[in-house]
Amino acid sequence: GEAAKRSARYMQELDSVNREQKADQDRLDNVSRMRTDAENKHRQKLHEKEEMEKRIEKLAEHIRSSEQALQDQRKLRQDLQSDVGSSKDRVHEIQKQLDDVVEQLGDARTDKHEDARRKKKQEIVERFKSNYPGVYDRMINMCQPIHKRYNVAITKNLGKYMEAIVVDTEHTGRQCIKYLKEQMLEPETFLPLDYLQTKPVKERLRSITEPKGVKLIYDVLQFEPQA
């Protein structure tokens, strides 16, 4: 009887211990699973962190590259603007040189044309001199300004008579005009000395002082009389 009771008590205690052990094992298994889950999550988070850091580094590198490219583009733009400015200046310079050359060519052609015209006109005078003893010369060759600063004033005052041909008489002038018509040459202006009405210089005009430096045309001409 006593042995059976004791055996029954031991069995109860054993069951209790087994239950506690099972409960402890269950708790241990649960903790172990939680630990495994936590470790897995930790590894996953570490992996995500590494991936994020790689992405951040790539983005940083992309930003650095973009900034460098932007700087390069800005420098290129500045260089291009500078080149464009230099090119414009060079174009203006070349255009100016071209304009100068064109102007010089125009002047040269004008000078050449003018020289040819003067030469032709002087040849006409020389022809007149050979044919008619009373022909002297053109006015422009018989009187010159005493200084080149009077050139404009004299040209303005004498006007068309600068190129006029001075002859001794009206008769000589008519002979020359007839010759021009016969040879179909351009008309000329003649100044026959016997036909000109001259007036004496008014001495009082020499006393005029205003405007400063004012002079009589007669006083700034030097003559080469041929008569």
Sign of the four-CA dihedral 116, 121, 124, 126:
negative
The mean pLDDT of 70-80, rounded to a whole number, is 88
* Radius of gyration over every alpha carbon of the chain, rounded to an integer in angstroms: 60
pLDDT of 164 reads 92
The pair of three-digit structure tokens given for residue 73, joined into one six-digit string: 């583009």
Beta-carbon contacts of 168 under 8 Å, excluding residues fewer than 6 positions away, are 134, 135, 136, 192, 193, 194, 227
The pair of three-digit structure tokens given for residue 89, joined into one six-digit string: 């200046």
pLDDT of 98 reads 65
For residues 193 and 166, is the Cβ–Cβ distance under 8 A? yes
pLDDT of 132 reads 92
Mean pLDDT estimate for the chain: 84
Domains of the chain, residue spans: 135-223
Integer angstrom CA distances of residue 88 from 33, 98, 133, 201, 216: 80, 15, 65, 62, 53
Q: Which residues pair with 191 in a beta bridge?
A: 166
Q: What are the tens digits of pLDDT across the range 24-55? A: 999 999 999 999 999 999 999 988 898 888 99
Q: What are the tens digits of pLDDT across the range 189-216? A: 999 999 887 777 677 666 676 777 666 6
The pair of three-digit structure tokens given for residue 108, joined into one six-digit string: 């040269």
* Reported confidence tier of residue 134, pLDDT bands at 50, 70, 90: very high
CATH class as words, domain 135-223: mainly alpha
Judged by DSSP in three states, 210 sits in coil
Tell me: pLDDT of 226 over 60.
no
For residues 227 and 168, is the Cβ–Cβ distance under 8 A? yes
Tell me: pLDDT of 227 over 50.
no
Global confidence as pTM: 0.45
CA atoms within 13 A on the CB side of 177: 13
Tell me: pLDDT of 21 over 90.
yes
127 vs 140, higher pLDDT: 127
226 vs 66, higher pLDDT: 66
The residue written with tokens 């007149």 in the block is: 128
Question: Which of these ranges, 113-122, 167-176, 205-214, has the smallest mean pLDDT?
Answer: 205-214
pLDDT of 153 reads 76
The pair of three-digit structure tokens given for residue 219, joined into one six-digit string: 């006083």
Integer angstrom CA distances of residue 46 from 9, 37, 41, 84, 123: 54, 14, 8, 56, 112
149 vs 164, higher pLDDT: 164
